[in-house]
Amino acid sequence: MFARNLLSFILVVGVAVSLVSGFSPRSTRLNTNHIAKGSPIPGFSSTQLWMSDQERSKSKKRTTITKENTETQSEEEKEKEEMWRVVLHNDEVHTFNYVIRSLSKVVGTLDKKASFEICVETHGVGKATVTKTWKKQAEQFCLGLQRQGLTVSISPDKDFEGGHAGGNI
């Protein structure tokens, strides 16, 4: 009895879901094989479900995706691109440990030892170069370090003479 009620319920729910979701039954026929053989499920019907004509016409449409050619810089153009320096300026607010962690976090290529050396140079000279890179990357590093609360700027590499801290300090 329970199995009969459960299967009837599943059949009714399945048909209702099919109708709500846009499918329409193309043909409904009573499956008499179960009744004739003495099946415990009398009146069980088999329904074939078909997509509506509108859904079938939608599914036949094909979409073509075209890939636009994007210009990429060649190796020579990247070498000709002007290098920029990310410059850390001294402040009396942040501790060495905080600055070391911030530098290592934002500039992934710096380990704690290199970050410490930059901190010492910044503290002694007043500013130090964190890294030299192309302009877009320098801007990203600068913004990341500024978000950490550090005083940082970027400048073209040609403006510097000499060492890590740059000239004319």
pTM of the full structure = 0.50
Q: Which domains does the chain have, with CATH numbers?
A: 2-58 (no CATH), 80-159 (3.30.1390.10)
Interatomic CA distance for residues 153 and 145, integer angstroms:
9
Q: Which residues pair with 27 in a beta bridge?
A: 48
Residue 86 has pLDDT above 70, yes or no: yes
- Ranges of beta strands (E only) in the chain are 23-30, 45-51, 83-89, 127-134, 152-156
Find where tokens 């499956």 sit. 31
Residue 145 has a pLDDT of: 95
With CA atoms as reference, report the closest residue to 127 among 105, 150, 109.
150
Reduce the DSSP state of residue 48 to 3 states and report it: strand
Q: What is the mean predicted confidence (pLDDT) over 20-24? A: 54
Spell out the long-range contacts of 92-95 with Cβ–Cβ below 8 A and sequence spacing 24 or more.
93/149, 94/149, 94/150
| Choice among 13-22, 103-112, 125-134 with the minimum mean pLDDT | 13-22
- Strand bridging mode 127-134 / 23-30: unpaired
Phi, psi of 84 (to 5 degrees): -125, 150
Phi/psi at 81 (5° precision): -60, 135
pLDDT digits (tens, 9 = 90+) for 135-163: 999 999 999 999 999 999 999 988 776 55
Mean pLDDT, rounded, of the chain: 74
Q: How far is CA 39 from CA 7, 11, 119, 132, in A?
A: 13, 16, 85, 82
22: pLDDT confidence band, cut at 50, 70 and 90?
A: low
